[in-house]
Structure 1
Amino acid sequence: MIVTVTMNPSIDVSYPLREFKLDTVNRAATVSKTAGGKGLNVTRVIHELGGEVIATGVIGGHHGAFILEQLEKEGIRHKFSPIKEESRNSIAILHEGQQTEILEAGPTVTLSEQEQFLEHFQSLVTEADCLTISGSLAKGFPSDFYQTLLKLATDAGVRVLLDTAGESLKKSLSGKSKPYLIKPNAEEIQELLGKKVSIRELEKFKAVLDNELFSGVEWIVVSLGAQGAVVKHRHSIYRVFIPTIQAVNPVGSGDATLAGLAFAISKKTEAEEIMKTAMTTGILNTLEEKTGHIDPSNFDKYFKQIQVEKL
């Protein structure tokens, strides 16, 4: 079973507008409200692939109740730890081919609520063979909290696929317990190492992936958007190419990619199939209007078009 961790879930609110006008009233004819947060996008895609998955994290208030209700409507299992403060909204205004986002910081999680979650997590992780951690931490959590989760999961023999950035990623890589997989983009690697990296200078790019900070990480999947990915698996480096597509909504494609990685890794498939599965689910997300969704009936069509080249 795959356990997905979302430590700052949200209600994703989407307002499509023909034109977005400043300093006046904008009226939205339609609105979409879904259970959101990077980890829940991962959860939905794994569920749509037919994987056995359960979502966890911290959740609170009326917003939290709405999120859980939405997951239940979709038939997604969940075991969240309750908190007192209200879970957040993430608002997206879709206008004139652009997307303007307003992201709430979310609740502050108390020390006792953190301890309660850790007890909950320890019992849940024993059921997992693979675990994903996605996105940001809610306020109140220390920046090394993911390292704490990594240690608990590693001690239980569970592989952790980590998709976060900034200080949370740095602290996670600096600790004794290492994630099994990380999924940064080129900008996040640049921020992490404090040096400019570019896929155009492939040899330098490959050398960056050998940085001591990544020691002990079995998979490094560097997302390149429409250009595919560069992947380091153990001591081998691969270039993964994807077909040109007409994207409908690229938001959440990184989460769908992580879902594909988790799904394939949990099935103990070969390295090339893991990479192709991940790129396929990322593509499928871009073809859907709703974020964090795929149409599995198109899986084989795009899977066959993914090319993996060992460098």
Structure 2
Amino acid sequence: MILTLTLNPAIDMNYQLDHLNIDQVNRCGHVIKTAGGKGLNVTRVLKCAEADVLATGFLGGKTGEFITEELDHAGIKHHFVSISGNTRHCLALMHEGNQTEILEDGPSISEEEADAFLKEYDRLLEQATVVTASGSLPKGLKKSFYQQLIEHAGRKNRKFLLDTSGESLKEGIKGAPYLIKLNQDELVALIGKEVNTEAEILASVKQLAETGVKFIVVSLGKKGAMGFFDGHAFIVEPPIVKAVSAVGSGDSMIAGLAYGIDKGLTPEEALTYGATFGTLNAMEARTGYIDQTQIESFKKKITVRAVD
């Protein structure tokens, strides 16, 4: 079973606008409301792929109830810890080919709520083979909370995939997760210097590998992704497609990676699934959704090449 962590979930509201008129009234006839947060995007994609997946994290208030109802309606298994605060909203404005986001901070987690989650997490780890953790940490949790979760998983020999940024990523790496996924901007922030060329990215990834992370994935957007595992680097490149919305494609890549790793595939094969899931998501209007019937045929269109 794949266990997905969404510690700061949200109701994602996607507004499709022809134009965004600043300082004026904007009317929208096309609104999509989704049980969101990066980890729940991962969960939905895995559900689309018919993987055995269960979601956990923190939920509270009426917004939390909405997310629970949405997950139940979708047939997604979940065990969230209840909190006194209200789960947040996040707004994405799609306009003129652009995407403008407004993200609420979300609730503050108490020490008692954090302890309750750790107990639930340890129980769920008994059933899990792979764990994914995506997105920001809510207020109230220590920046080292991901590190703590990674260490708990490590003691049970569970593979932990981490997709976060900033201090949460820096602290999380100290726990030696099995895999981290980051984009070029996050890589620059982490190592403290610019990386532009393939060779510079590879040199930076090799530096990160010295921290004990087994599998490092750097998303390259439309160009695919670089993977580094056990001293070997490779790049997966998807075909050019007509993208509808790139929202959730990074989360879908994590879903594909988890899917491949859970099946015991090689790193190259797992990253091929990551690129497949990420690209299929970009071809859909819905966030965190792929067409399961296209997975195997589309995967054959992904190219993999070794990097010196």
TM-score range, shorter chain: over 0.9
What secondary structure sits across from 1:278 in the alignment? Answer: helix
The one of 176, 179, 198 equivalent to 1:178 is: 176
Q: Provide runs of 4+ in structure 1 moved above 3 Å.
A: none
Give the match for residue 240 of structure 1.
Answer: 236
CA deviation digits over 1:55-113, x for unaligned, max 9?
00011000000001001110000000000000000011222222221111110111111
What is the Cα deviation at residue 214 of structure 1?
4.4
Give the match for residue 252 of structure 1.
Answer: 248
Query: RMSD of the TM alignment (CA)?
Result: 1.2
Gaps of 5+ in 1: none
CA deviation digits over 1:98-136, x for unaligned, max 9?
222111111011111111111111111111000000000
- Say if 2:285 is the partner of 1:289: yes
Give the match for residue 197 of structure 1.
Answer: 195
Q: Which aligned pairs between 1:154-169 and structure 2 lie closer than 5 A?
A: 154-169=154-169
Give the match for residue 21 of structure 1.
Answer: 21
User: What is the CA–CA distance in structure 1 between the aligned matches of 2:95 and 2:199, rounded to whole Å?
Assistant: 40
What is the Cα deviation at residue 157 of structure 1?
1.3
What is the Cα deviation at residue 17 of structure 1?
2.0
Give the match for residue 152 of structure 1.
Answer: 152
- Say if 2:32 is the partner of 1:32: yes
User: What is the CA–CA distance in structure 2 between the aligned matches of 1:65 and 1:249, rounded to whole Å?
Assistant: 27
User: What is the CA–CA distance in structure 2 between the aligned matches of 1:214 and 1:24, rounded to whole Å?
Assistant: 52
Q: Work out whether residues 209 and 216 of structure 2, in 8 Å CA contact, stay in contact via their aligned partners in 1.
A: no
Gaps of 5+ in 2: none
The one of 200, 213, 220 equivalent to 2:216 is: 220
Deviates more, 1:294-303 or 1:182-191: 294-303
User: What is the CA–CA distance in structure 2 between the aligned matches of 1:212 and 1:43, rounded to whole Å?
Assistant: 27
What secondary structure sits across from 2:182 in the alignment? Answer: coil
User: What is the CA–CA distance in structure 2 between the aligned matches of 1:205 and 1:249, rounded to whole Å?
Assistant: 26
Give the match for residue 66 of structure 1.
Answer: 66
What is the Cα deviation at residue 212 of structure 1?
5.2
Count of residue correspondences: 307
Change in Cα spacing, 1:37 to 1:212, as seen in structure 2 (3 Å) is closer
- Say if 2:171 is the partner of 1:210: no
Return the letter of the residue paired with 2:302: I
Return the letter of the residue paired with 2:227: V
User: What is the CA–CA distance in structure 1 between the aligned matches of 2:210 and 2:53, rounded to whole Å?
Assistant: 28
Return the letter of the residue paired with 1:41: N
User: What is the CA–CA distance in structure 1 between the aligned matches of 2:96 and 2:185, rounded to whole Å?
Assistant: 26
The one of 272, 277, 300 equivalent to 2:273 is: 277
What secondary structure sits across from 1:221 in the alignment? Answer: strand
Deviates more, 1:66-75 or 1:16-25: 16-25
Change in Cα spacing, 1:289 to 1:156, as seen in structure 2 (3 Å) is same
User: What is the CA–CA distance in structure 2 between the aligned matches of 1:101 and 1:270, rounded to whole Å?
Assistant: 36
What is the Cα deviation at residue 5 of structure 1?
0.2
Give the match for residue 127 of structure 1.
Answer: 127
Return the letter of the residue paired with 1:182: I
Return the letter of the residue paired with 2:177: P
Q: Which aligned pairs between 1:298-309 and structure 2 lie closer than 5 A?
A: 298-309=294-305
Return the letter of the residue paired with 1:258: I
Change in Cα spacing, 1:18 to 1:60, as seen in structure 2 (3 Å) is same
Q: Work out whether residues 234 and 268 of structure 2, in 8 Å CA contact, stay in contact via their aligned partners in 1.
A: no
